[in-house]
Amino acid sequence: MANEFIGRNELAAQEEIKLSDIDVLLINPAPPRVDRVAEHLGIASLKAFLLSRGIETETLDMSIEQVSVSETVDQILAAQPRIVGVSMLDDTKDSGFSVIRQLSTRGFGGKIVLGGYFPTFASKDILRDFPDVDFVVRGEGEITLFELVEFELGKDGAKPIEQIEGLSYRHDGQIVENPSRPLIADLDILPPVDRKYAPQVLSAGQYLSVFATRGCWGSCSFCDIVGLYGISKGKRWRRRSVERLVDELEDLAHRFNTRHFIFNDDQFLVKGNSAYRLVDEFASELERRNLKIEFELMCRADTVNRKVMQRLKDIGLKRVFLGLESFDEKQLQRMNKRISVRQNLKAVITLYKLKIDVIASVILADAYTKLWDLLLQFTILYILRKRYFNSEHSKISVNKKLEVYRGSPVYQEYKRKGILTKDHYLTGCDYKLKFWTNLRLKMLSLEEGAARFLFRPKMNSTRVGDEFQLNMTPLKQKQA
C-alpha cells in the first residue's frame, strides 16, 4: 500500500501551476464541517475545459488546502486573476460570501462570478443583494463560463454578453437573465477533469472521484438535481463513451498508482432493457485492457438486479450508495420516487446476497408523515439493520426530516400549499412536522444523545452509526 504513494509529491510539484499570470481562479469554499477529503469535480472540470481552450486557469480548494477566508483572499490578491469564480452549495455559501466580502473590502479589482447549485436557484436574489458579485452562471457551467471569460478578456470572436446562454448579470441597474443553456449533449467534448488535488486525496486514504454520467433520469420531488437539469433543454441523463471513461481510469491508475475509484454520478445506472448492455460494455472494456479496479457508485433501488450487480461485482464493485429514502409506501409516492417498499427491500436483499456493501439513506418524515407511519419505518429499519446491515462497511444513514431545497419540486409544492414556515434563499426553508411525529423524533434525538453519553468510552466512530439500533429496543420490547 505504501508504494502507491511513492512519487505523488513529485507529480504534484510537476502539475502545480504558479498562482501568477492567471486569467481565472476558481474557488471551492469550505463547508462548516469537512467529513472527508474529496476532489470538487465541478471546478476541476471547469479548469480542464478552460485550459483546453487556452485560458490560464487555476483552482483553490479551501477544504483540501485547509486555508481560512483571509488566507484565501491573500492568495487571490497575490495572484490578481482577471476573474474569480466561486462554486457554491448550500453548506459552502457562507464561507464563499465571506471570501467575496473580504475581496471587496481589500480592493480586489477583478470580476466575480458564482456558479453551482445554490447560485443557480438564487441568481436574482444574489445579484440584488450582493453588489460585488458581477455574474451568476446557471446550470452546467463549462461553456457559459468559457464564453463569459472570452467576453471579459476581449478575445476576438467573443460573443456579446446578451448572447451568452445560462448567464445572469446586471445591466443599467436591472438584473438580466439570459435564456438557459441547453445541456451538453455529448459529454466527450469535455476533457478529463483536472487532478491538482489527487495527491492530497490519496494521501488521506480516500479514493479518486470519477464521473461516468451527468444528471439523473429520476424525478424525485425532494431532489434539486431535478431542478438543476430541468431548467435546461436536452437529455437530463447523459453518459460518457466507454472508451473515454476507461481511458481516464487507465490514465489515473498509471499516473497516481491507484486502482480505487468512486463514481460521483448522481445516477450511474439505468433500468430496463439497456441496463445490462451498458454495464457489460463498460465491464468488457476494462477486461479487454486488463485494467483491475475497485469502485463504489450511487444508484436507485429499481436499478439493482442480480445480473447487473453480479457483472459489476466481477469487475470490482465494492460498495453501493443506495437512495432508498423511505419504507413508507405513501411517503415514497409523495416523493415521486416511483419505487415501492417491496423494490427497496428486494434491492437490499439482492446486494446482501451478492456480498456487496451498502450505504443506504432513509428519510424518516415529511410534512405529512403520521406517527404510525414513523413507527412502522422504525420497525422495518430495526429488522433490516439486524439482518442485512450487520457488516462493518454497510449501514443505513437516517435523516430525520426531509430537507426542502429551493431547486426541488417539493419546494414548489410546499410553497404553493402554504406549508413553509421559513423560506429564504440564504437561511433555507423549513416547515412543521405533524405534532406526534415531531415529538417522537425529538425523543429520538434525546435517545441518541443519551446513547452517545452512556456509551462514549466504549463507542468508536463506526459504532456511532449503530445508535439508532439502540433506539429501536424499546419499540421491540413493546411489540413483544
Which residues lie near ligand SF4 (CB under 6 A)?
Answer: 216, 218-220, 223, 225-226, 266-267, 300, 323
* Whether the Cβ atoms of residue 57 and residue 46 lie closer than 8 Å to each other: yes
Q: What is the distance between the alpha carbons of residues 303 and 276, in angstroms, rounded to a whole number?
A: 10
Cα–Cα distances in Å, from 342 out to 30, 251, 323, 326, 350? 39, 41, 14, 11, 12
Considering the complex, what minimum distance in angstroms separates the CB of residue 38 from ligand SF4? 18
Query: Among residues 412, 321, 396, which one has the least CA distance to residue 363?
Result: 396
Considering the complex, what minimum distance in angstroms separates the CB of residue 230 from ligand SF4? 10
Q: Which is nearer to ligand SF4, 199 or 218 (CB)?
A: 218
Give me Rg for the CA atoms of the chain: 23
Q: Which is nearer to ligand SF4, 219 or 412 (CB)?
A: 219
Across the strands, what pairs with 322? 299, 360
Considering the complex, what minimum distance in angstroms separates the CB of residue 337 from ligand SF4? 7
Q: Which is nearer to ligand SF4, 286 or 299 (CB)?
A: 299
Q: Which is nearer to ligand SF4, 40 or 214 (CB)?
A: 214
Q: Which is nearer to ligand SF4, 213 or 350 (CB)?
A: 213
Q: Mind giving me the DSSP string for 161-179?
A: GGG-TTEEEEETTEEEEPP
Considering the complex, what minimum distance in angstroms separates the CB of residue 66 from ligand SF4? 30
* Whether the Cβ atoms of residue 181 and residue 144 lie closer than 8 Å to each other: yes
Considering the complex, what minimum distance in angstroms separates the CB of residue 432 from ligand SF4? 24
Considering the complex, what minimum distance in angstroms separates the CB of residue 262 from ligand SF4? 16
**Angle at the Cα of 193 from the Cα atoms of 191 and 195, rounded to 5 degrees:** 135
Q: Which is nearer to ligand SF4, 145 or 226 (CB)?
A: 226
The single residue listed with the C-alpha cell 490514465 is 251
Across the strands, what pairs with 28? 61
Considering the complex, what minimum distance in angstroms separates the CB of residue 89 from ligand SF4? 15
Cα–Cα distances in Å, from 233 out to 87, 266, 408? 22, 18, 17
| Amino acid at the residue 267 | Q
Q: What is the distance between the alpha carbons of residues 154 and 152, in angstroms, rounded to a whole number?
A: 5
Q: Which is nearer to ligand SF4, 166 or 218 (CB)?
A: 218
